Amino acid sequence: MTDFERKLYQIIVNMHLYGKNPTLNDLKRKTGKSEEDIRAAVKSLLIKGELKWDKHKKVWILK
């Protein structure tokens, strides 16, 4: 994982622990990165199997 992927993953984990699902705007605000950068990092995490998206419940599934 790159540093940015690790940071993004940790933000998702922390928000998940509080029962919240981070929006793209949340992630942009907390990381200071662009939408393109965030989407690329999330896609990479999905490919690596670190994250999964439950389409029915609309929540992240963490490894």
CA distances from 15 to 33, 41 (A): 18, 17
Cβ neighbours, 10 Å, residue 23: 10
Please, which pLDDT band fits residue 63 given cuts at 50, 70 and 90? confident
Fold of 3-62: Arc Repressor Mutant, subunit A (1.10.10)
Q: Give pLDDT, residue 2.
A: 94
pLDDT tens digits along 8-61: 999 999 999 998 999 999 999 999 999 999 999 999 999 999 999 999 988 898
Residues 5/13, Cβ–Cβ less than 8 Å: no
Q: What is the DSSP letter of 62?
A: E
- 61, 59, 51: which is closest to 21 by C-alpha? 59
Task: Please name the residue ranges forming H helices in 1-63.
Answer: 3-17, 24-31, 35-48
